[in-house]
C-alpha cells in the first residue's frame, strides 16, 4: 500500500540512492524520492482535511508545485524560473552565488513550511502527522551534511516557501468558509437551473460559486477556453437534452459490472478520497517512482500539473456558474422516473461542464506532453479503498475513462464530459507552454 | 379604532396555531460551581475522542451517581448527595475507579447480582469493574475472563443474547496508535465478547471489518426480538468503510447487513448514536452525530413482519441537522458527539440533547460550538432552545447525560468537557408537564431487562422506550426511565421483557417513581427528601 511506505521511510532511507544532482553525495534520501513522500502525505491531507474539495485541493497543489520547482531552480543548470511567467510572481529569492547548498535539505525545509501554509487547517491527526513527518524527514535530510550547508539550505527553502505563500494570498482562493458552501445565495431560477440534490443542510447552496473568478496561473483567466454551453434545455423526447438524459438513465439502469467499477474507481469524492486532483497527482507519483524520475524533472512535472489542475478548476467553475445547469438526478426524477437513483453521490454544484472531465483533460495535456503519447501505466490509486488497479494505454485513455465514468455513475450528461475534456485540454496547453527549461 | 381591533383579532387567530406548535422551553441553571464536580477530561491526541459519562445508582439510594473519565488524569466517581428537588450536590468518593487513560464508562449489571458494574473504556487495557455496593468497585477482568486487550477503545454496547445467562459486550476500537505519520486506514478490530464458561467471557471475537467505531448500540431495529449491533464509524480514518449493522444471532457468527437486506452505504464522521421511537410506529429512529450535518434515520418502509434495513435521512425535514452553532458569531460547521433523546419539558414528546465541541482547534469548524437542546413540537419537528434553556456552554464538550439527579421529575444534565471541568445543570422548569419515573427489574440473569421495552400510554398516545446499554458517546445511563405525560394524571404501563413476554402494570399515577418487577405489581418508591 502506497501510504504505508511513508511510515517506514526512516528504515528505507539508508537504501536510497545518491542524490541525482545535489552538491553532496551520501546515502541520504534521494531528493526526488523525498519529494514524492511529501506528496504522498499531502494527498492524505487532501482526503482528511474537510475544506479540501477538488478546487481547493487543486489550488494547493499548484502552489506546492511552484514552491518545489522554484526551490530546485537554483540548483539545476536545466531549470528556468517561473517568475515573470505567472501573474503576480515577479521574483523568487535567489541563492548566494558560489555558496554550497543541499537539495534534499532545501526541499525538506520548503515543504516543511509549505505543508503548514496550505494544510494548516487540517485536523489534529493531520497536524500530528505533519509534525512527526517533519521531524523524521528533517533528520534524514540533514544526515551527514555540514552544519553551515544545512543552515544555508534551510533558510533558502523557507524563503522560497514564504515568498510563494505571500504571492498566493490574494488570488481569491486563500480563504474558504463553511467548507466552501455559501451561507446565503440567490439561486438562479428556471426549470433548467441547478437545485439542491440532497438533504444535507450545509449543501443547499452550491460549492464555491465565486471560484471561477480566482486568479489563474498559466491560462489568461477563468473565462479562457470557454465551452460551447450545454445543449438547449428541453423536455421534448426528440431533443438533444432529453436524449442525453435518457442515455444517463438507461446507462445507470443497465450498468455493467465494469461500468460500475469504472464509476467508483474515478469517484474521488471529497473527504472520502484524495479528490480528482489528488488522484492525478497519485498517478504522476506512481509513474515518477517507476521511472525513477530525477528531481529536476519531478519538480517540473509537479509544477505544471499543479498549475494546470488549478487553472482547470477555475475555468470549469467559471463555466458552471455561467450555465447553472441542473443535475441528471433532478431532471430524470422529474421527467423520466421518480424512483431512479445514480450510482454515485451527486456533487452539490451545477452540472455543466464536468469538473473531473476538465481536470482530466488538463492532466492528459500535461502528462502526455511530459511522458509522450501511448505511455502505458497501471493506476493503483484506488487500492487502499479496496478497488482494483486499472491499466491504461495512455494518459489520454485514462482521461477519457475518468470523463465517461461520470456518465456511468449517473452524475453528468455526455455534453458536460465531452466539452469538459476539451476545455481541460485547452487549459492544460497553457501550462505545457510555460518555459521551465533553459 | 374598530379596524385596528379587527386586525389584532385576526393576528391572534393567525398566530394561535403557530403558538400551539411551540414547545415549552425548560429552564436550566448551571450549578457546576456548587456541585462539587471538578473532574476535567484531560489529554491531547489520544483523548480527542471519548469523554463519556456514566449515570447510575451505585449505593442503592435511588439517586443517580456519576462516573467521570479523566483522560490522562484519574477517573472519578461522584456520589449524589442532592436532596429531592434541591440543588445538585455531588461528593467525590474513592471507589476503585481511579484509573488513568479512561475515555468512558457504561454501567450494566454484568454478573446479574443486583449491583451495577461498570465497563471501562481505556486507551490501553479495558476493564470490567465489579460493583461491590456502597459505590465501591473492584477489577474483575480475571474473575470474569474478560480480555481487556490493548487498543484505543472508544465505544461499547451490551446485551444478553437469547437464552444466555451472561452478557455479550461489543467494544469499538479506534486508530492504531502506533501509526505516527499515516494513521489513516489503520482502524483496529472491534471485539465481541460473548459468554464463555459459566460466569466468564469467551475470548473476544474480532468484528471484521472494523472502521474506527465511536458509538455502538444493540437495538431491535426490526422488532424481530433479537437486537442487532449498530456501529457508527468515523470516516476520517477508515478506507472503504461505512456505517454498519451486524446481525447477532445466538450461536451464530455475526453477519453484516447487506444491500440485499436494504442496507445502504452511509459515510459520516460517526461519533454518537441516540435512539427512540419518534414517530410511534414501533421502530426506533436513530440520530447519528457527525461533523456539520447530523443524521436522523427512519425506516423508509416500516411495514411487514421483516422490514428492510433501508433508512432515509429526515434530519433536515425534522430540523435536527444541528450543522452549525445556533447563536453567536461563529458560523463555522459544528462537531457533534454525545446525543440523547429525553423529554426535558415533560410534554410527552422526546427532545434531543447534543454535545458539541471542536475536535482540537480545527480552524474550519466552530470553536464556540454550544451544545444543542432541540425540543420536539407536536408536528414532529424540533426547535432549537439551547440558549433560551440555559445549557449553551463555552466548553469543548464530548460526553453527557440527561438524568433526574435531584429526583424532582425534571431531567438535569451533566456534560464532560475536554481539558476543563465537567458541568452540571439543574432543570428548574416551572412550566413543565407531568411525569413518571420507571425502573424495570427482573430475576437474574439480566436483572435490568436490557433488550426489553417500556410502553407508556396516556391521552390515547403510546410512547415506547427500548432498554439498552450503549450508544451516546462513550457513556451511558442506567436507572430510572423518564417519561413526560403532558397534562395526564396517570398513564398505562406495559413492559415487554427481553424474552418477548409482556406484563401489564395497569394505570400508575403521575409524579412518582415506580419499580416494575416481573410478576409483581408496580411498587411506588419512596426517596429521601
Instruction: Report DSSP letters for A374-386, one per residue.
Output: T--EEE-TTGGGT
Altogether, the residues listed in chain A come to a count of 438
B45/A201 Cβ within 8 A? no
Q: Is the pLDDT of residue A2 over 60?
A: no
For residue B382, give the H/E element and its range.
strand B382-384
To the nearest whole Å, the CA of A131 is away from the closest chain B CA by 8
- Given CB atoms, is B237 within the 8 Å cutoff of chain A? yes
Q: Is the pLDDT of residue A386 over 90?
A: no
The angle at the Cα of B213, spanning B210 to B217, to the nearest 5 degrees, equals 110
Give the A window 344-373 contacts with B, CB below 8 Å.
Answer: none
Closest CA to B495 of B469, B513, B521: B521
d(CA B92, CA B79): 6
- Given CB atoms, is A179 within the 8 Å cutoff of chain B? yes
- At B276 the pLDDT is 98
- Given CB atoms, is B362 within the 8 Å cutoff of chain A? yes
B313/A178 Cβ within 8 A? no
Please report the ipTM that was assigned to this predicted complex: 0.89
d(CA B208, CA B445): 29
CB B425 within 8 A of CB B91: no
- At B19 the pLDDT is 41
d(CA B107, CA B58): 10
**Residues 6+ away with beta carbon under 8 Å from B520:** none
Burial class (CB in 10 A: 0-12, 13-18, 19+), B279: middle
d(CA A85, CA A81): 8
d(CA B345, CA B484): 7
Q: Is the pLDDT of residue A8 over 80?
A: no
- Given CB atoms, is B327 within the 8 Å cutoff of chain A? no
**Residues 6+ away with beta carbon under 8 Å from B4:** none
To the nearest whole Å, the CA of B180 is away from the closest chain A CA by 6
Distances (CA, A) of B452 to B299, B339, B439, B500: 20, 21, 12, 8
Structure confidence by residue, pLDDT tens digits, B415-434:
999 999 999 999 999 999 99
What mean pLDDT do residues B26-30 have? 98
Nearest to A7 among B179, B314, B316 (CB): B179
Cα torsion at B58, B59, B63, B64 (round to 10°)? Answer: -10
Structure confidence by residue, pLDDT tens digits, B290-301:
999 999 999 999
- Given CB atoms, is A388 within the 8 Å cutoff of chain B? no
B180/A178 Cβ within 8 A? no
Neighbours of B504 (CB within 10 A): 11
To the nearest whole Å, the CA of B363 is away from the closest chain A CA by 5
Mean pLDDT of chain B: 95
State the residue for C-alpha cell 483496529: B188
CB B119 within 8 A of CB B110: yes
- Given CB atoms, is B181 within the 8 Å cutoff of chain A? yes
The angle at the Cα of B237, spanning A262 to A288, to the nearest 5 degrees, equals 55
- Given CB atoms, is B323 within the 8 Å cutoff of chain A? yes
The number of helix segments (H) and strand segments (E) in chain B equals 4, 37
Burial class (CB in 10 A: 0-12, 13-18, 19+), B17: exposed
d(CA A428, CA B7): 66
Residue B21 pLDDT level (bands cut at 50, 70, 90)? low
- Given CB atoms, is B176 within the 8 Å cutoff of chain A? no
Structure confidence by residue, pLDDT tens digits, A100-151:
999 999 999 999 999 999 999 999 999 999 999 999 999 999 999 999 999 9
A6/B363 Cβ within 8 A? no
- At A27 the pLDDT is 56
Contacts with B314 from chain A: Cβ below 8 Å: 199
- Given CB atoms, is B305 within the 8 Å cutoff of chain A? no
Instruction: Give the DSSP letter of residue B445.
Output: S
Q: Is the pLDDT of residue B16 over 60?
A: no
Structure confidence by residue, pLDDT tens digits, B139-156:
999 999 999 999 999 999
Closest CA to B116 of B476, B506, B519, B376: B476
Contacts with A118 from chain B: Cβ below 8 Å: none
What mean pLDDT do residues B110-133 have? 98
What mean pLDDT do residues B75-82 have? 98
- At A28 the pLDDT is 74
- Phi, psi (rounded to 5 degrees) for A132: -70, -40
Structure confidence by residue, pLDDT tens digits, A417-431:
999 999 999 999 999
Pairs of residues, one from chain A and one from chain B, whose beta carbons lie less than 8 Å apart: 101
Burial B49-73 (b: 16+ CB within 10 A, else e): bbbbbbbbbbbeebbbbbbbbbbbb
B183/A3 Cβ within 8 A? no
**Residue B346 CA from chain centroid, whole number:** 18
Structure confidence by residue, pLDDT tens digits, B336-370:
999 999 999 999 999 999 999 999 889 999 999 99
Q: Which residue of A has its CA nearest to B292?
A: A202
- At A197 the pLDDT is 98
Cα torsion at B316, B322, B323, B324 (round to 10°)? Answer: 140
- Domains parsed from chain A with CATH numbers: 2-168 (1.10.606.20), 182-432 (1.10.606.20)
d(CA A233, CA A240): 8
- Given CB atoms, is B208 within the 8 Å cutoff of chain A? no
CB A43 within 8 A of CB A306: no
Burial class (CB in 10 A: 0-12, 13-18, 19+), A268: buried
Partner residues linked to B219 by β-bridges: B228
- At A33 the pLDDT is 83
Helix axes A355-371, A54-73, angle to 10 degrees: 20
Percent of chain A with pLDDT over 70: 93
Contacts with B45 from chain A: Cβ below 8 Å: 124-125, 128
d(CA A369, CA B87): 75
- Phi, psi (rounded to 5 degrees) for B486: 55, -125
- Phi, psi (rounded to 5 degrees) for A239: -80, 155
Q: Which residue of B has its CA nearest to A264?
A: B240
Amino acid at each position: 500500500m502506497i501510504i504505508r511506505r511513508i511510515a517506514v521511510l526512516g528504515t528505507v532511507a539508508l537504501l536510497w540512492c545518491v542524490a541525482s544532482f545535489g552538491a553532496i553525495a551520501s546515502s541520504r534520501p534521494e531528493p526526488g524520492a523525498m519529494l514524492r513522500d511529501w506528496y504522498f502525505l499531502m494527498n492524505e491531507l487532501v482526503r482528511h482535511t474537510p475544506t479540501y474539495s477538488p478546487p481547493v485541493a487543486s489550488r494547493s497543489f499548484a502552489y506546492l508545485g511552484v514552491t518545489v520547482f522554484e526551490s530546485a531552480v537554483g540548483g539545476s543548470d536545466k531549470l528556468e524560473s517561473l517568475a515573470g511567467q505567472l501573474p503576480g510572481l515577479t521574483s523568487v529569492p535567489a541563492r548566494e552565488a558560489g555558496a554550497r547548498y543541499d537539495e534534499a535539505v532545501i526541499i525538506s525545509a520548503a515543504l516543511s513550511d509549505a505543508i503548514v501554509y496550505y494544510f494548516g487547517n487540517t485536523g489534529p491527526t493531520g497536524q500530528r502527522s505533519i509534525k512527526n513527518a517533519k521531524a523524521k524527514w528533517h533528520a534524514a535530510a540533514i544526515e551527514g551534511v555540514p552544519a553551515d550547508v544545512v543552515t544555508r539550505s534551510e533558510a533558502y527553502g523557507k524563503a522560497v516557501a514564504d515568498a510563494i505563500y505571500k504571492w498566493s494570498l490574494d488570488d481569491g482562493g486563500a480563504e474558504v468558509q463553511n467548507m466552501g458552501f455559501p451561507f446565503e445565495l440567490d439561486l438562479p431560477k428556471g426549470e433548467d437551473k441547478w437545485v439542491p440534490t440532497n438533504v444535507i443542510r450545509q449543501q443547499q447552496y452550491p460549492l464555491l460559486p465565486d471560484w471561477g473568478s480566482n486568479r489563474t496561473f498559466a491560462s489568461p483567466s477563468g473565462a479562457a477556453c470557454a465551452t460551447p454551453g450545454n445543449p438547449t434545455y428541453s423536455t421534448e423526447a426528440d431533443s438533444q437534452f432529453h436524449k442525453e438524459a435518457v442515455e444517463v438513465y438507461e446507462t445507470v439502469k443497465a450498468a455493467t459490472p465494469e461500468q460500475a467499477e469504472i464509476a467508483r474507481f474515478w469517484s474521488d469524492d471529497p473527504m472520502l478520497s484524495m479528490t480528482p486532483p489528488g488522484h492525478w497527482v497519485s498517478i504522476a507519483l506512481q509513474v515518477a517512482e517507476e521511472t525513477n524520475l530525477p528531481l529536476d524533472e519531478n519538480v517540473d512535472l509537479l509544477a505544471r500539473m499543479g498549475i494546470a489542475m488549478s487553472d482547470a478548476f477555475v475555468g470549469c467553475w467559471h463555466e458552471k456558474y455561467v450555465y447553472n445547469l441542473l443535475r441528471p438526478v433532478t431532471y430524470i426524477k422529474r421527467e423520466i422516473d421518480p424512483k431512479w437513483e445514480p450510482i454515485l453521490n451527486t456533487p452539490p454544484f451545477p452540472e455543466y461542464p464536468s469538473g473531473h472531465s476538465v481536470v482530466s483533460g488538463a492532466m492528459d495535456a500535461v502528462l502526455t506532453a511530459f511522458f509522450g503519447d501511448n505511455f502505458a501505466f497501471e493506476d493503483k490509486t484506488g487500492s487502499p479503498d479496496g478497488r482494483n488497479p486499472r491499466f491504461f494505454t495512455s494518459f489520454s485513455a485514462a482521461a477519457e475513462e475518468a470523463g465517461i465514468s461520470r456518465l456511468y455513475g449517473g452524475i453528468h450528461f455526455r455534453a458536460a464530459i465531452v466539452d469538459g475534456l476539451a476545455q481541460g485540454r485547452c487549459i492544460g496547453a497553457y501550462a505545457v507552454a510555460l518555459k521551465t527549461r533553459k | 379604532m374598530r379596524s385596528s381591533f379587527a386586525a389584532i383579532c385576526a393576528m391572534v387567530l393567525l398566530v394561535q396555531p403557530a403558538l400551539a406548535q411551540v414547545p415549552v422551553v425548560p429552564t436550566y441553571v448551571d450549578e457546576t460551581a456548587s456541585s462539587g464536580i471538578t473532574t476535567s477530561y484531560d489529554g491531547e491526541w489520544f483523548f480527542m475522542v471519548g469523554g463519556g459519562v456514566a449515570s447510575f445508582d451505585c449505593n442503592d439510594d435511588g439517586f443517580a451517581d456519576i462516573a467521570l473519565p479523566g483522560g490522562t488524569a484519574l477517573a472519578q466517581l461522584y456520589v449524589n448527595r442532592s436532596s429531592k428537588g434541591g440543588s445538585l450536590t455531588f461528593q467525590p468518593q474513592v471507589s476503585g475507579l481511579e484509573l488513568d487513560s479512561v475515555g468512558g464508562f457504561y454501567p450494566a449489571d454484568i454478573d446479574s447480582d443486583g449491583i451495577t458494574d461498570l465497563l471501562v473504556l481505556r486507551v490501553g487495557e479495558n476493564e470490567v469493574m465489579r460493583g461491590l455496593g456502597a459505590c465501591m468497585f473492584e477489577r474483575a477482568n480475571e474473575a470474569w475472563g474478560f480480555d481487556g486487550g490493548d487498543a484505543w477503545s472508544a465505544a461499547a454496547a451490551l446485551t444478553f443474547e437469547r437464552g444466555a445467562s451472561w452478557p455479550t459486550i461489543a467494544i469499538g476500537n479506534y486508530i492504531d496508535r502506533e501509526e505516527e505519520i499515516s494513521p489513516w486506514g489503520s482502524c483496529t478490530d472491534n471485539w465481541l465478547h460473548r459468554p464463555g464458561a459459566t460466569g466468564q467471557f469467551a475470548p473476544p471475537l474480532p468484528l471484521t471489518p472494523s472502521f474506527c467505531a465511536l458509538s455502538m448500540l444493540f437495538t431491535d431495529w426490526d422488532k424481530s426480538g433479537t437486537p442487532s449491533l449498530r456501529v457508527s464509524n468515523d470516516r476520517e480514518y477508515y478506507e472503504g468503510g461505512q456505517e454498519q449493522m451486524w446481525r447477532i444471532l445466538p450461536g451464530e457468527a455475526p453477519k453484516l447487513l447487506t444491500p440485499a437486506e436494504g442496507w445502504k452505504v452511509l459515510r459520516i464522521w460517526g461519533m454518537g448514536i441516540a435512539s427512540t421511537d419518534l414517530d410511534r410506529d414501533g421502530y426506533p429512529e436513530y440520530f447519528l452525530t457527525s461533523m456539520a450535518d447530523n443524521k436522523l434515520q427512519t425506516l423508509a418502509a416500516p411495514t411487514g413482519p421483516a422490514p428492510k434495513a433501508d433508512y432515509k435521512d429526515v434530519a433536515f425535514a425534522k430540523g435536527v441537522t444541528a450543522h452549525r452553532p445556533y447563536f453567536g458569531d461563529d458560523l463555522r460547521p459544528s462537531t457533534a458527539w454525545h446525543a440523547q433523546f429525553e423529554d426535558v419539558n415533560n410534554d410527552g414528546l422526546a427532545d434531543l440533547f447534543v454535545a458539541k465541541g471542536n475536535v482540537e482547534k480545527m480552524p474550519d469548524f466552530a470553536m464556540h460550538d454550544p451544545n444543542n437542546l432541540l425540543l420536539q413540537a407536536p408536528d414532529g419537528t424540533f426547535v432549537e432552545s439551547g440558549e433560551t434553556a440555559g445549557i449553551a456552554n463555552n466548553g469543548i464538550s464530548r460526553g453527557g447525560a440527561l438524568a433526574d439527579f435531584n429526583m424532582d421529575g425534571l431531567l438535569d444534565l451533566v456534560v464532560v468537557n475536554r481539558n476543563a471541568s465537567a458541568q452540571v445543570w439543574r432543570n428548574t422548569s416551572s412550566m413543565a408537564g407531568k411525569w413518571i419515573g420507571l425502573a424495570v427489574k427482573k430475576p437474574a440473569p439480566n436483572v435490568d431487562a436490557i433488550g426489553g421495552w417500556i410502553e407508556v400510554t396516556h391521552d390515547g398516545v403510546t410512547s415506547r422506550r427500548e432498554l439498552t446499554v450503549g450508544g451516546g458517546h462513550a457513556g451511558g445511563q442506567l436507572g430510572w426511565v423518564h417519561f413526560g405525560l403532558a397534562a395526564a394524571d396517570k398513564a398505562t404501563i406495559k413492559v415487554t421483557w427481553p424474552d418477548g413476554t409482556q406484563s401489564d402494570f395497569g394505570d400508575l399515577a403521575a409524579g412518582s417513581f415506580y419499580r416494575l418487577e416481573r410478576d409483581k405489581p408496580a411498587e411506588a418508591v419512596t426517596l429521601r427528601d
